[in-house]
Amino acid sequence: MTTIRLPMMGLVVLIGTTGSGKSTFAATHFGPFETVSSDYCRGLVADDVNDQSASTAAFDLLHHIVGVRLARGRFTVVDATNLTRSARASLIALAKEHDVLPSALVLDVPTQVAIQRHQARTDRPFGVDVIRRQRAQVPRGVGALRKEGFRNVYLLDSEQEIADVEIVRTP
């Protein structure tokens, strides 16, 4: 069992490829309003959670929602792939702006697992090459993410580790 400690006054950034299980993990461990997802925001601005052309608007909205929540002291989790440094940097900046601690939680499953899950889905209209490309972007070290500004960094790098997690919110 891995105990993950997350500051109650905090922002949690999930990181992982499509199919790594971010939304499933969030639904298991966090409240429905605590989690703000890029899918939901794409849906709100484009009526289509897969419309990549709506990404700029969707992330503007996501950042706005996250900022409003943090301003009100609400524990907030970002459910998006967050695989680029710049995607993470804008979230770290939001946490700083609102004086809360940013945590990173990396869900890293073997490429084959993500591919199998992807192939079983009917809600993602793109090929498995995307997963291979994304997997290469998954941060592997705690150090680099800490350097980016994440205060707590957890790397869960197997299905078993992801399953055996206990989340404790700290004051």
Name the site residues for Mg ion (rule: CB under 5 A): 23
List 5's β-bridge partners, or say none: 168
List 77's β-bridge partners, or say none: 12, 35
With contacts defined by CB under 6 A, name the span among 56-64, 69-77, 82-90, 155-163 that binds ligand ATP.
155-163
By CB under 6 A, tell whether 24 contacts ligand ATP.
yes
Give Cα 56 to chain centroid, integer Å. Answer: 17
Reading the block at residue 83, the tokens are: 């695989």
Least distance to ligand ATP from the beta carbon of 74, Å?
A: 21
Closer residue to ligand ATP in complex, CB, 2/24? 24
With contacts defined by CB under 6 A, name the span among 1-9, 19-27, 70-78, 94-102 that binds ligand ATP.
19-27
Closer residue to ligand ATP in complex, CB, 51/159? 159
CA-based max dimension of the chain: 43
Cβ pair 114, 17 in contact under 8 A: yes
